[in-house]
């Protein structure tokens, strides 16, 4: 399961600078991990996970395969994108392909970098983008209604979709994104068929100046969004040229414990309710991304589709215990490994070995 994130924002907010930092991170790791740029506007970056090298040392393998995130640098948005202004149609179509949105918002002031509205007003900028997405969704809703009207006979499923379309349409017309409309679990499943833009989770990444980075409390007061973080896109480019030790020293100057890129990846996992389980063998050590609450057979299916169908059981052990006993052999001797069946929920950080029947 690959995590795909679309980076969006108005022109001149630092979106491309942030994406360039992601590409540098990708290139910096290319010697160790088999990642590559799929397209000029797509960067594939590993999910930071300090557990993997520890496991690799225990099982004596040199091959480490982290979970990855695909970041899409989506064309800058301008007012009227929903009507095709600028690269509007291309922008909106790309957003439909991603699992979540990182909305880069400009908080820094710089006379050498023009702002599209000639003033720094993050909340208005956020509303501009949100409005265009809502308008695009309203167009999707309208097309869905027209399709329903052309159909004289409606099945039960079509009736449910039609009722849901009306419910969401009312919310959108009030300026409420689909993700903030109160939906039942059943409605959340149905709404996926509409492929709405405003149903996607959003992380607000506020691009700040050096001075704002040095004044975290004052900066936080300017940020009203709950699912957010702040970073300095220019700094992110600079810090990647340093060694790990130098990075920590550099970040300490700004009272930061990790880079903005790593925090962004971690936040993305959180908003999408994702976790990682680990596999550790002589061939490779690997992190696998799954939805929180996934059962063992489904998790096995992430490795290979046939594994879910032919699942027998799974041996699981928490990462700290695996490290403490130094691997599978001692873990089994000491009874630390739990053999689980089809109804077991895989937990974050568990080291797992699946037992699969003949395929």
CATH number for the domain that contains residue 319? 3.10.20.30
pLDDT-derived band of residue 299, with 50, 70 and 90 as boundaries? very high
Q: Which one is predicted more confidently, 334 or 113?
A: 334
pLDDT-derived band of residue 89, with 50, 70 and 90 as boundaries? low
pLDDT-derived band of residue 293, with 50, 70 and 90 as boundaries? very high
pLDDT-derived band of residue 151, with 50, 70 and 90 as boundaries? low
pLDDT above 80 (res 271): yes
pLDDT-derived band of residue 77, with 50, 70 and 90 as boundaries? low
pLDDT-derived band of residue 167, with 50, 70 and 90 as boundaries? very high
pLDDT-derived band of residue 263, with 50, 70 and 90 as boundaries? very high
Q: Looking at the domain assignment, is residue 317 inside a domain?
A: yes
Average pLDDT over residues 146-165: 68
Distance from C-alpha of 48 to C-alpha of 68, rounded to nearest angstrom? 9
Q: Looking at the domain assignment, is residue 306 inside a domain?
A: yes
Q: Looking at the domain assignment, is residue 174 inside a domain?
A: no
The answer for residues whose C-beta is within 8 angstroms of residue 33's C-beta and 6 or more apart is 46, 64, 65, 66
Residue numbers in the known binding site are 12-17
Residue numbers in the known binding site for ATP are 12-17
DSSP 178: G
Q: Which one is predicted more confidently, 211 or 26?
A: 211
pLDDT-derived band of residue 32, with 50, 70 and 90 as boundaries? very low
> How many domains would you assign to the chain?
1
Report the pLDDT value the prediction gives residue 30, as an integer from 0 to 100: 42
Q: Looking at the domain assignment, is residue 136 inside a domain?
A: no
Average pLDDT over residues 192-196: 88
Q: Looking at the domain assignment, is residue 324 inside a domain?
A: yes
Are the C-beta atoms of residues 7 and 75 closer than 8 Å to each other?
Answer: no
Q: Looking at the domain assignment, is residue 210 inside a domain?
A: no
Average pLDDT over residues 59-76: 88
The answer for residues whose C-beta is within 8 angstroms of residue 190's C-beta and 6 or more apart is 160, 161, 164
User: pTM for the whole thing?
Assistant: 0.86
- What is the span of the domain harbouring residue 348? 292-354
Burial 219-244 (b: 16+ CB within 10 A, else e): beeebeeeebbbbbbbbbbebbeeee
């Amino acid at each position: 399961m690959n995590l795909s994130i679309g980076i969006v924002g108005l022109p001149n907010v630092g979106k491309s600078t942030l994406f360039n930092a992601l590409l540098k991170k990708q290139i910096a790791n290319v010697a160790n991990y088999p990642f590559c740029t799929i397209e000029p506007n797509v960067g594939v970056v590993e999910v930071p996970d300090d557990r993997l090298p520890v496991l690799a040392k225990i099982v004596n393998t040199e091959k480490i395969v982290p979970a990855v995130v695909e970041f899409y640098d989506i064309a800058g948005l301008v007012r009227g994108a929903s009507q095709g202004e600028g690269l509007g149609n291309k922008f909106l179509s790309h957003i439909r392909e991603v699992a979540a949105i990182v909305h880069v918002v400009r908080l820094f002031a710089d006379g050498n970098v023009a702002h599209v509205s000639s003033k720094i007003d993050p909340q208005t900028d956020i509303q501009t983008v949100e409005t265009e997405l809502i308008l695009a969704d309203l167009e999707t809703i309208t097309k869905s209604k027209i399709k329903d009207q052309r159909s004289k006979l409606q099945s039960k499923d079509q009736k449910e979709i039609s009722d849901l379309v009306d419910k969401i349409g009312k919310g959108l017309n009030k300026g409420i994104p689909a993700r903030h409309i109160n939906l039942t679990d059943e409605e959340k499943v149905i709404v996926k068929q509409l492929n709405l833009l405003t149903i996607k989770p959003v992380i607000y990444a506020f691009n700040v100046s050096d001075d704002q980075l040095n004044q975290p409390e004052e900066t936080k007061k300017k940020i009203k969004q709950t699912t957010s973080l702040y970073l300095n896109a220019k700094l992110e480019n600079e810090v990647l040229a340093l060694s790990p030790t130098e990075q920590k020293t550099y970040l300490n100057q700004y009272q930061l414990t990790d880079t903005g890129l790593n925090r962004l990846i971690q936040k993305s996992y959180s908003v999408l309710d994702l976790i990682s389980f680990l596999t550790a063998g002589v061939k490779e050590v690997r992190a696998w991304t799954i939805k929180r609450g996934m059962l063992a057979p489904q998790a096995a299916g992430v490795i290979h589709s046939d594994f879910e169908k032919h699942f027998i059981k799974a041996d699981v052990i928490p990462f700290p215990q695996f490290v403490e006993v130094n691997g599978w052999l001692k873990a089994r001797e000491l009874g630390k490994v739990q053999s689980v069946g089809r109804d077991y929920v895989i937990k974050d950080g568990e080291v797992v070995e699946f037992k699969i029947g003949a395929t």
